[in-house]
Chains A and B, each alone.
Chain A
Amino acid sequence: MKSNDHRKVMIEFQALEKTFRTSKGEVHAIEDLNIKIFDKEFVSVVGPSGCGKTTLLKITSGLLPRTAGGVAVNGSPVDGPAKQIGMVFQNPVLLKWRTVLDNILLPIEILKLPRRSYQEKAMELIKLVDLIGFENFLPSELSGGMQQRVSLCRALITDPPILLMDEPFGSLDALTRDDMNLELQRIWETKKKTVLFITHSIPEAVFLSDRVVVLSPRPSKVVLTVDVNFKRPREPSDKYEKEFGRLCTLLRSAIKK
């Protein structure tokens, strides 16, 4: 890891450990995991299936307790869901009886904040993700990519400094996925959040990230960290650059089955 120590640490895992107790005994999901993520940094985590990437994200968001070690978000240890985190799940998880606008305003309602003052903000986000004209549509009337963009707006409505994304584009087709990557990059450039991004796709991780972390199979720990120094904003054609291919190959060889 580079000596970026002058920057503010937003997420920190220290000797993190997670063990699940199941009916068939204990499963070590994560063991001695150490990562530091700096302010406004985009970090992707890749690794073989079932290596505990989602578990890592759930621990960060406070959905799951850790077994040992430390997790700190914005300097304070995690002991449950916190306001400074926005989360985008694998599926859009939109309420099918609510319109696009009402889905985006759900967190505002839950926090009992004045809906009126956030309505304008919601419209700005809708504009940002290019969904103008769809604010009164129901989720069932939108495509998968559009639904996931709505769920991104919902995560951004409270303007949290940290965004956790759990394979958000995993269920989209390849073309839509490329579009979503471009769009996410654009949104990240505008909003400048600290992002922890889980993905199965190495090119996606390289395209979006400042840094890519490779996890080992269970029990997970960091096996490789790669800095991506491509200039931003990145173009889809960057994926065909030699350096891009080199990074992908390097990451691919670090992922063990």
Chain B
Amino acid sequence: MDEKQTVKGLDTYTPIKGTKLAPFLTLVLFLVLWEVFVRAANIHPIVMPPPSVAFKYIAFNIPLLLDHAYTTMNEIILGFLLSVVVGLTLAIAMTHFSLLNRALYPLIVLSQVLPKVAFAPLLLLWLGYGILPKVVIAFTIAFFPIVINSLGGFTSVDPEMLDLFRVIQANRWQTFLKLRFKNALPQIFDGLKIAITLAVIGAVVAEFIGGDSGLGYLIIVSNSTLDTPLMFAALIILSLAGIILFGIIMLIERLSIPWSFRG
């Protein structure tokens, strides 16, 4: 479509040169300032290692870190996928049955305001120390924005559009698939982007409380042994993992709803 001439000239916007580099430059600047600050103030690496030390640590411990990252990634992705399935199903059901909407909405809000950390030990008691409780905790935090955003998207359809679908005799399911769902996609993707970051937090918190592997576990262990460079190494890997997951969702968004990035 891009090579086509547009009628209203809406596509004349061109990004300023170098905008794509901006995030990398800020990151580099941040790391440089950190390095300079730690060295200038002569802070001990146990209190706060400079990034060069943390990166050196990562380089020397790649197999260990990747091993733990693998565990955490599994928990994050499974928890996230579970929250997508459950969140979308709930939102679809609540869109079509207003009684269900009224009955469930307060429960869903309640499930979000209750601190999951408080329930984590209980979940471990019920579900054991394997991957399951971590997945469940990541899921319970991540599904909320998916339900709320999807529900908002499904129900905020132009009434005239709904009239159109009634006039052309669309049934409920056709109206949902061809109108409500498509219309909600930008909002759903916003929800997914929030959800993936929450799934990261959920998995790590779960590992804090009862893990024997994973980046969250590594952070807790390194904290107790005052191995601060290891802790920072784990944090850096965790951030990278989070950013990559977020990026994947943004990519899928760009590919699946190109119309919402135009004009």
Contacts and interface: CB of A to CB of B under 8 A. Distances in A.
Interface of A: 58, 61-63, 81, 83, 85, 87, 89-91, 93, 95-97, 106-107, 109-111, 134, 136-138, 140-143, 146
Nearest to B161: A93
B160 A110 contact: no
Contacts of A95: 161, 178-179, 182
Contacts of A93: 158, 160-161, 163-164
Interface of B: 1, 4, 6-8, 10, 158, 160-161, 163-170, 174, 178-179, 182, 257, 259, 262-263
5 contacts: A62-B167, A81-B169, A95-B178, A110-B174, A136-B4
Nearest to B262: A140
Given A97-B257, A110-B170, 4 more contacts: A95-B182, A96-B259, A97-B259, A110-B169
A63 B163 CA distance: 7
The 5 tightest CB contacts between A and B, nearest first, are A107-B168, A140-B263, A97-B259, A110-B170, A87-B167
Q: DSSP class of A's interface residues: helix, strand, loop or mixed?
A: loop
A83 B166 CA distance: 11
Given A110-B174, A138-B259, A85 B167 contact: yes
B179 to A, nearest CB: 7
A89 B160 contact: yes
B7 A90 contact: no
Contact of A106 (B6, B160, B178, B257): B178
B4 to A, nearest CB: 7
A89 B169 contact: no
Contacts of A134: 7
A144 to B, nearest CB: 10
A90 B4 CA distance: 29
A107 B175 CA distance: 12
A83 to B, nearest CB: 7
A164 to B, nearest CB: 9
B252 to A, nearest CB: 16
A110 B182 contact: no
A87 B6 contact: no
Contacts of A62: 166-167
Among A61, A110, A134, A142, max chain B CB count under 10 A is at A110
A137 B7 contact: yes
Contacts of A146: 7
B169 A138 contact: no
A131 to B, nearest CB: 11
A110 B259 contact: no
B25 to A, nearest CB: 33
Among B163, B165, B263, max chain A CB count under 10 A is at B163
Given A96-B259, A97-B257, A110-B174, A141 B7 contact: yes
A138 B7 contact: no
B178 A111 contact: no
Contacts of A140: 8, 10, 259, 262-263
Contacts of B8: 140-143
Contacts of B164: 87, 89, 93
Nearest to A83: B169
A81 B182 contact: no
Given A81-B169, A95-B179, A138-B1, A89 B163 contact: yes
B171 to A, nearest CB: 8
